[in-house]
Amino acid sequence: MKKISLTLILISFFSMLAAAQTEKEDMAIATSIFGKTKKAIITQYMQIADKDSKAFWDMYDQYEYKDNAINQEGLALIKQYTDNYNTLNDSLATKIAGEYLNNTTKYNALYKVYFKRFKKLVGGVKAATLFQIEIYIQTAIQANLQSQIPVIGELQRLQH
């Protein structure tokens, strides 16, 4: 009975974690990891000229909107995984893994599109700096989230 309870508690926790993840939580995670909000980190490293500031932040807000949509898709996949953890079969695991890989492809496509746009606006070095920061923060957030999700079959191995 303890094993079943532990499993249900963990699955509930991961489901809530995935469902509750929002832009604000990304900011909170970034703040907890780096001691600053994502925007503060970008401001510190980018040092955008006043003449480009409004256009830069307007474009960044467009980028963040699309980035958050991709984030939400990924979190829905994590929720699907946690909801089906105990009954995961080959077909569903393959489906979720394929969709997760497609989600990663969407990030890379977004990075390419917006790198070109930011390069036109602020130059190649600043655009490269922005995406170095973006990818670093995204990787840290993903690592934090992934560390909280059990590997397929892990809970069953812990129960034996």
Read off the pLDDT of residues 120-146 as tens digits, 9 standing for 90 and up.
999 999 999 999 999 988 888 888 888
What's the pLDDT at 3?
41
Instruction: Using only the alpha carbons of the chain, give its radius of gyration.
Output: 19
Our count of domains for the chain comes to: 1
Q: Are 41 and 156 in contact (CB under 8 A)?
A: no
Q: Are 15 and 83 in contact (CB under 8 A)?
A: yes
Q: Quick one: average pLDDT of 99-124? A: 96
Let me know if 38 is exposed, middle or buried by CB neighbors in 10 A (0-12, 13-18, 19+).
Answer: buried
What is the pLDDT of the chain when averaged over all its residues?
A: 80
Q: Quick one: average pLDDT of 139-155? A: 78
Three-class SS state of 81: helix
Residue 63 backbone phi and psi in degrees, to 5: -60, -45
Range of the domain at 113: 2-159
How many CB atoms are located within 10 Å of the residue 42 CB? 19
Token couple for 160: 């034996």
What's the pLDDT at 88?
85
Q: Are 45 and 134 in contact (CB under 8 A)?
A: no
pTM greater than the 0.85 cutoff: no
